[in-house]
């Protein structure tokens, strides 16, 4: 790394630390002056490195603090103001995107949410699909129903959870049918996906959408995807976004590998990841073999 890049990296890290510890988000001009960069360059370089603007980073850190306080049992009003939000309305403006529910419901472990789910056997193990009234909230793989139901209960401990049989919930059936088609375990055409109801930041959505453009049978490294998104040093941020994906197979984070081509980890098990990629490559290669 040359001296100029090292100086820029150090300035960006100072800017990040200032934003992280500031009670109020500093203006871009103030932040630029503090780290001796121009405002325009700082905005562009900060987004390239961290995936978000300084203002967005500050807001995300405030929400992280808010969520931690709520999980610890703090009253909603106290948690809102302790996290640096001057108005509760500012929290509720973003709560659906960042929590998937109101702060009060999040504090109560999903209290008030009505979740319906079903499970089915797949070539990769047992699959659980869950939905709220707004869309699909969880798609996960495991060894058996008990493991999957415990995982769902841990994620939404106070939500109302109801198991339904296949054929009784259109959205659940649509997700299962789509996965069956994509895994080659059904000849039926893949139906359209239902709406998605998963709490995420704008950056996470951006990464997940990019993952869906990786062709079946192909992989990309964290660094490759980061560069495609204009974040040449954002491999770690890409990895964090993949790690927060709760929609197995629907958002294909299994197609992301390490820089050396090794598989790395996967929330639902590295052996399943290996099996899934092998299945995709076989499906992708079969028409070419027939054509030859």
pTM: predicted TM-score of the whole model, two decimal places: 0.62
Check residues 87 and 271 and name the one with the higher pLDDT: 271
Of 12, 37, 235, 253, catalytic: 253
Which pLDDT score is estimated for 77? 53
Which pLDDT score is estimated for 187? 64
Q: What is the pLDDT of residues 159-188, one digit of tens each?
A: 889 999 866 678 888 888 888 887 776 666
pLDDT at 99 over 60: no
* Residue 125: band (very low, low, confident or very high) from pLDDT cuts 50, 70, 90: very high
Which pLDDT score is estimated for 96? 45
Strand order across the 125-131 sheet: 136-142, 125-131, 114-122, 160-163
Out of 13-22, 30-39, 134-143, pick the least confident.
Answer: 13-22
Q: What is the pLDDT of residues 197-252, one digit of tens each?
A: 777 777 888 888 889 889 888 999 999 999 988 888 889 889 989 998 989 999 99
Q: What is the pLDDT of residues 61-78, one digit of tens each?
A: 666 665 555 555 555 455
pLDDT at 42 over 60: yes
Which pLDDT score is estimated for 233? 84
Which pLDDT score is estimated for 25? 74
Read off the pLDDT of each residue in 57-63 and give the average, rounded to a whole number: 69
Which pLDDT score is estimated for 75? 53
pLDDT at 109 over 80: no
Active site residue 253: yes
Q: Find all residues with CB under 8 Å of 30, minimum gap 6, and list them.
A: none
Bridge partners of 122, per DSSP, are 125
Bridge partners of 140, per DSSP, are 128
pLDDT at 94 over 80: no
Which pLDDT score is estimated for 118? 94
The total number of residues shown for the chain amounts to: 292
Q: At what angle do helices 202-211 and 235-243 cross, to 10 degrees?
A: 90
Read off the pLDDT of each residue in 22-39 and give the average, rounded to a whole number: 86
Read off the pLDDT of each residue in 88-93 and give the average, rounded to a whole number: 44
Query: What domains can you pick out in the chain, each with its CATH number?
Result: 3-107 (1.10.10.60), 114-182 (3.30.160.70), 202-291 (1.10.10.10)
* Residue 117: band (very low, low, confident or very high) from pLDDT cuts 50, 70, 90: very high
Percent over 90 (pLDDT), the chain:
28
Averaged confidence pLDDT in the chain: 78
Which pLDDT score is estimated for 266? 93
What DSSP string describes 251-282?
S-GGGEE-TTS-----TT-HHHHHHHHHHHHH
Which pLDDT score is estimated for 98? 45
pLDDT at 288 over 50: no
Angle 32-37-42 (CA atoms, 0-180°, nearest 5)? 70
Segment (H or E) for 65: helix 54-71
């Amino acid at each position: 790394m040359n001296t100029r890049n090292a100086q820029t990296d150090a300035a960006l890290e100072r800017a990040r630390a200032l934003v992280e510890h500031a009670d109020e988000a500093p203006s871009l001009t103030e932040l630029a002056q503090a780290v001796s960069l121009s405002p325009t360059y700082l905005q562009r370089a900060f987004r390239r490195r961290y995936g978000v603007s300084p203002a967005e980073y500050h807001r995300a850190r405030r929400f992280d603090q808010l969520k931690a306080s709520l999980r610890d049992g703090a009253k909603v009003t106290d948690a809102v103001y302790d996290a640096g939000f001057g108005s509760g309305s500012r929290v509720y403006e973003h709560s659906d995107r960042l929590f998937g529910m109101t702060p009060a419901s999040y504090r109560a472990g999903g209290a008030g949410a009505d979740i319906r789910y079903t499970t089915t056997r797949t070539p990769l193990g047992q699959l659980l699909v869950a939905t709220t009234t707004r869309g699909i909230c969880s798609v996960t793989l495991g060894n058996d129903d008990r493991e999957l139901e415990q995982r769902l209960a841990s994620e939404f401990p106070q939500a109302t959870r109801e198991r339904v049989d296949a054929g009784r919930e259109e959205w659940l059936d649509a997700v299962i049918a789509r996965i069956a088609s994509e895994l080659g375990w059904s000849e039926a055409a893949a139906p359209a996906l239902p709406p998605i109801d998963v709490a995420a930041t704008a950056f996470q959505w951006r990464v997940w959408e990019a993952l869906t453009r990786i062709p079946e049978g192909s992989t990309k490294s964290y660094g490759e995807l980061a560069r495609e998104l204009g974040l040449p040093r954002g491999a770690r941020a890409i990895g964090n976004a993949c790690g927060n994906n709760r929609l197995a197979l629907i958002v294909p984070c299994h197609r992301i590998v390490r820089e050396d081509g090794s598989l790395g980890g996967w929330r639902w098990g590295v052996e399943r990841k290996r099996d899934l990629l092998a299945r995709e490559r076989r499906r992708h290669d079969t028409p070419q073999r027939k054509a030859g």
